Chains A and B, each alone.
Chain A
Amino acid sequence: MLSAQSLALIDREVAKYPADQKRSAVMGALRIALEERRSTGETPEARCLNQEVIEFVANYLEIPPVAAYEVATFYNMYDMKPVGKYKITVCTNLPCALRGGVNAAEYISHKLGIAIGETSSDGMYTLLEGECMGACGDAPVLLVNNHSMCSFMTSEAIDKKLAELK
């Protein structure tokens, strides 16, 4: 179900923990599984985690499926719902809001024609509001697909970024 490359990455995670504590690797393993689905999935449904993948990861780590499932649903960066090719998460928490975080989210919403929480009908973009990303000095801040942080996102910077995300 996952590529050899993903499994090798998961093995690297497993090696970080004591031999009898493979469960510790579940967070990394789910991230790696999600990354594979995001990069290979052709539709919003194919880009998120689902029960099958979670069970696969659980079996791979020899833990009960529910143990992996509860982790996937507890941490908010795991996509459990269909998601666009580009998931844009804008921080609107107080320190960011004081420097344009809310304006940035509204600007993107207007430009993409989707409300916060929605995915565009062509399946290209999902717009989310995020909580503190630990980069308040760089506000407005947004994340693209969980891992790429973009700092100082003025309207011009957003225009440029969206032009790249095609």
Chain B
Amino acid sequence: MAVFVNGVIFDGVDTAAADAWRLDAYVARGGYQALRKILDSKLPQEDVIAEVKNSGLRGRGGAGFPTGLKWSFMPRSFPGDKYVVCNTDEGEPGTFKDRDILRFNPHSLIEGMIIAGYAMGTKAGYNYIHGEVFAEYLRFEEALEEARKAGFLGQNILGTDFSFELYAHHGYGAYICGEETALLESLEGKKGQPRFKPPFPASFGLYGKPTTINNTESFASVPFIIRDGAQKFLEAGKPNNGGTKLFSVSGHVNRPGNYEIPLGTPFSTLLEMAGGMKDGKKLKAVIPGGSSAPILPAEIMMNCTMDYDSISKAGSMLGSGAVIVMNEDVCMIKALERLAFFYHEESCGQCTPCREGTGWLYRVIHRIANGQGRPGDLELLDSVGNNMAGRTICALADAAVFPVRSFTKHFRHEFEYAIEHGKTLVDHKWC
């Protein structure tokens, strides 16, 4: 289910209508006006980038890095090939927003990428799509074809001397490819193993050429910013947190789904929008930004607003905007065990601390969850985590350690009880 409130990307999109994603419907909603505006007025590249900077748009994939600033890192005058790449490899547990962009409004992404191509002087782009969403990959291919036929993509776009080509690349099941340099390796037809940084993609990216990689939602926000102005986008959110954001709400709520709401909306309001707690159960904890974000207990979460700054102040991160809601019946050890399994499974194996460490974390949490915990296990988890975080090429190791640290911090008594008594404190029920 998808619900959109005061949206930017989904403004006017009727998700129930079968053809809402098609070019005609997008154009009727004001689509491709931003591109026309740029091309008609021959807007200088730096003005496009300035507009994106002024909008306060921060990367929607998880890191929250200012999009306009990232664009300004590209060497615009570099004479050779350059690329823009979209990261639709959405596999962070809890995140399912980009899939809805491909399903219901793919042209917003296409237009955003064309504008990015114009602003950074690139001739080609790729959208890397998560392996498990094949139907959405096919739809995106079809949308590309529509855009080509209508003259928005390809040689001499809308009769100007600006040319840009865009292709879809389909992944095939590797969480690590959501990491931008692993994604580039994968696009090159290799194992998705992250690269050392520096050099950063802006100087050495796809095929060794300057490349800018943004999240789907970031690109899809750009047409609105150009068409309606940076100020209007900025005002839709709050200072330093421009715009609206898609929040994927999952878990124990009555209406899971995507909610596009202004940044800065209180969590309690979002929870209400999602229909409140399922079966009237009590809220226990929330992971506010995807599985890699530290968990927050209900009492802290209920005082947060949904934006980068507030969630960060509370000790977690907004990440991709994936809000995983858990009720009082969930044993925190069982929940953590499942996440630890995921990171162990998805470690690419390149760096020893991550390859071995994720296995250690999983095995120790697994034994605690199954009443086999040993005295000293919590210290062992700490020690393993300290030898992983910050000691690897990419952030997957950190992502595996954050949940362990935050679960054992906020719900330490559950872990201590299980180790001491050989059984869990909470009579666990998934649902």
Contacts and interface: CB of A to CB of B under 8 A. Distances in A.
Contacts of A26: 189
Interface string A73-110: 01111100000000000001111011111110000000
A21 B132 CA distance: 25
B171 A132 contact: no
Contacts of B326: 98
B18 interface: no
Contact of B90 (A18, A134, A146, A147): A134
Interface stretch (A39-47, A116-124, A136-144): A136-144
A148 to B, nearest CB: 8
Contact of A137 (B173, B249, B345): B249
Contacts of B131: 75, 77, 146
B256 A149 contact: no
Contacts of B175: 131-132
Contacts of A102: 430
Contact of A75 (B2, B171, B207, B339): B171
A98 B324 contact: yes
A24 B187 contact: yes
Contact of A136 (B94, B126, B186): B94
A27 B186 CA distance: 8
A93 B334 CA distance: 11
Contacts of B351: none
B170 interface: yes
What is the interface residue range for chain B against chain A? 35 or more
What is the interface residue range for chain A against chain B? 35 or more
A46 to B, nearest CB: 20
B167 A16 contact: yes
Interface stretch (B7-15, B31-39, B95-103, B230-238): B95-103
B288 interface: no
A146 B189 contact: no
B339 A94 contact: yes
Given A21-B188, A63-B189, A99 B132 contact: no
B130 A103 contact: no
Contacts of B207: 18, 21
A71 interface: yes
B174 A149 contact: no
Nearest to A141: B132
B122 interface: no
A134 B130 contact: yes
Interface string B154-171: 000000000000011111
Contacts of A77: 131-132, 172-173
Contacts of A131: 91, 93, 175, 342, 345-346
A130 B93 CA distance: 11
Contact of A100 (B132, B187, B348, B430): B430
A135 B346 contact: no
Contacts of A70: 190-191
A143 B431 CA distance: 21
Contacts of B338: 92-94, 97
Interface in B323-351: 324-326, 330, 335, 338-339, 342, 345-346, 348
Contacts of B132: 77, 130, 133-135, 143, 146, 149
12 contacts: A16-B126, A27-B171, A74-B348, A75-B172, A92-B338, A98-B251, A98-B325, A103-B431, A134-B132, A136-B324, A137-B1, A137-B258
Interface of A: 16-18, 21, 23-28, 30-31, 63, 67, 70-71, 74-78, 92-95, 97-103, 130-139, 143, 146-149
Given A76-B172, A92-B338, A143-B132, 8 more contacts: A16-B169, A23-B189, A31-B170, A76-B173, A77-B132, A94-B335, A99-B256, A149-B135
Shortest 8 CB-CB contacts between residues of A and residues of B:
A77-B173, A23-B189, A147-B134, A133-B132, A95-B250, A75-B172, A136-B250, A76-B173
